[in-house]
Amino acid sequence: MQRYPRDFTGYGPTPPAADWPGGARVAISLVLNYEEGGENNILHGDGQSEAFLSDIAGAAQWPGQRHWNMESIYDYGARAGFWRLHRLFTARNLPVTIYGVATALARAPEQLAAMQSAGWDIASHGLKWVEHKDMPEEEERRQIREAVRLHTEVTGARPRGWYTGRCSMNTVRLTAEEGFDWISDTYDDDLPYWIEAGARDQLVIPYTLEANDMRFATAPGYIEGEQFFQYLKDSFDVLHAEGGRMFSIGLHCRLIGRPGKIAGLIRFLDYAEAKGGAWFATRTQIAEHWAAKHPARRRERPSQMPREAFVAKFGGIFEHSPWIAERAFEMEMGPAHDSATGVHSLLARAFRSASPEERLGVLRAHPDLAGKLALAKRLTAESTAEQASAALDALTDDERATFEQLNAAYVARHGFPFILAVRDHSKTSILGAFRARTANDSTTEFAEACKQVERIAELRLKDLLK
C-alpha cells in the first residue's frame, strides 16, 4: 500500500470566498524578518560564519572564524535598516508581522520595544537563523520549544505564529504539534488552509519567496528598487483582479532597509493606497478572520481509509465489481485522491488495466435498460436511481416493448448489455443512441461501453463524495 503525502489539489478550481473585511479584494501581509543577531556566528556557539542573504556576492561560510564583513551587513539591518522601516510603517499606520528569531530579539531590546509600541504582531522565527535540513528531529523539537520559551521570556507573551524558513522535512509537523494559531512554512497557495495534525487542526498561512526582498541577494533577482516595485505592483494587480486572495510580502532589515531598495517598497505602498481594495493585516488578524469565516471541518478521506472501509464504500461504484476497488486501494494514493475525481482516477485506472475478460465481466454485470430486473425491482439502488432519472421507470407498454426489442438485438450482436450513462440523456436521446450503437462493430462498441461504465462511476462518486 503506497500513500503519497504531497497535496497537489488544494482548493482546486473553486477557492472559498475570502470575504475580507470592508469588501477588500486582497489581504496584504507585510512581514519583516528580524534575524540580526540570530545568524550563524561563532559568538553564538555555531561552528562557522553566516553566508545567507547578504550583499556579499558568492558568500561562503568560514568554519571556525568570524566574518567581519558579513557581521557588519547584518548589523546594518539592526542599526539603520530596522529604524528606516519602522519610520515608514508607523508613519502610514500599517500593521506588520515580525518573524522574530528568538535569540535576535533577546539581543535587540530597543527594536523589540519599538515593535511592541507599534502594536506589531511578533511571531517566532525559530531559536536561531540557521539551517535545519540535517537537524535530528528531537533536536529540532527541542529548539522549537526553547525558541517559544525564550520568545515568551523576552516579549512577555507566547508567540501565536511560527515560521522557520530554513526548515527540515519535519518542521511543519513539529510546529503543528506545538499548538500555534498559525504556521507559515509553506509557499503553496494564495489563501490560508487547514491541515490535520493528529487530533489537532492547524491553520497554515502560506508565505512567499518571490514577492520577497531576498531576491536582492540571489541570482536571478532584483538589482534596483524599481524592479521590486514592478513585481509587487504586477502581483497586486493580478490578485486584485481575481479578488479574494492573500498577498504576502517578505522583507529583511538588512536588505530592504537600504535606501535604494526601500524606494521600490515606498512606491508600491503609494500605488496600493491609490488603487484601493487592499486590507493590510497582520498574519494573526488574517488567521482570526479565516478561522471565523472558514473553520476547520474534518471529513472522511479515502487516502486514509483502511482497506475494508475503502472497499465497502467504493466497491459498488463499478456494478457488482468490488475487485476494482480492491486493486485501486493498492495504488499510490494521497491527498489528491480525497475527492470524487481523485477516487474515480484510481478506480478507472484499475478498470483500464484489467484484462479484456475482466472488463467484459464488468459490462455483463450491468442490467438491461428498462429490462426484466428493473421491472422486478431487483436493480441496485444506484441503477434504480439512474434509470429513474431518465423516466425509464415510467414507460408505457409500447415504450417498454421497444426497449426489450432493442436490448435483445444489442446483446445478440455484441454479447453484453447496452450501457449508457443515462443521467446525461433524456428518454428520446437514449433511444437514439440505442439504435445507432447497435449497428457498430463489437470492438468499437466494447470501447464505448467501457467509457460509459467509467462515466457512470464518475457520476456515482460525485453523489457519494459531495
C-alpha distances in Å from residue 425, one per residue of 166, 313, 411, 421, 463: 55, 27, 21, 7, 17
CB 186 within 8 A of CB 200: no
What whole-number distance in Å separates Cα of residue 33 and Cα of residue 125? 8
What whole-number distance in Å separates Cα of residue 69 and Cα of residue 74? 9
**Which is it for the CA torsion 304, 308, 313, 314, positive or negative?**
positive
The identity of residue 271, as a single letter, is: Y
Percent helix, strand and coil across the chain, each rounded to 5?
Answer: 50, 10, 40
- Please identify every residue annotated as catalytic: 366
H and E: helices and strands count for the chain: 18, 9
Q: What is the DSSP annotation of 265-283?
A: HHHHHHHHHHH--EEE--H
* Residue 196 DSSP SS3: strand
What whole-number distance in Å separates Cα of residue 104 and Cα of residue 345? 50
CB 34 within 8 A of CB 98: yes
Could you give the maximum distance between any two Cα atoms of the chain, in Å?
Answer: 96
What whole-number distance in Å separates Cα of residue 279 and Cα of residue 94? 10
Structure-block grid coordinates of residue 8 = 497537489
Short-list 180, 165, 142, 140, CA closest to 34: 165
Structure-block grid coordinates of residue 422 = 443515462
